[in-house]
Amino acid sequence: MTVEGAAIAAATGAVAGLGYALLEDRDLRRSIKTSIGLGLVVLGSYLFSPAGLRRMWLGDYSHLD
């Protein structure tokens, strides 16, 4: 687990949440809440996932050699 990986996970969730909120045509306040909420969900799944799954997300396949 790396700080960079956690930041990427949180940013990915936030961007996905914002995209969803914009597609649903929500107001700014709800869009921000959705972005933060989904960012925290993705960050939580990154932090609590097994190490092998995190390596797969980060593209580190060196453990397969």
Look up residue 63 and give its two tokens: 């453990």
CB atoms within 10 A of CB 38: 21
Residue 41 pLDDT > 80: yes
d(CA 48, CA 18): 23
Residues 6+ apart with CB under 8 A from 39: 10, 11, 12, 13, 14, 17
Q: In the prediction, which pLDDT does 62 show?
A: 63
Residue 54 pLDDT > 70: no
Look up residue 25 and give its two tokens: 């045509």
Q: Whole-prediction pTM value? A: 0.65
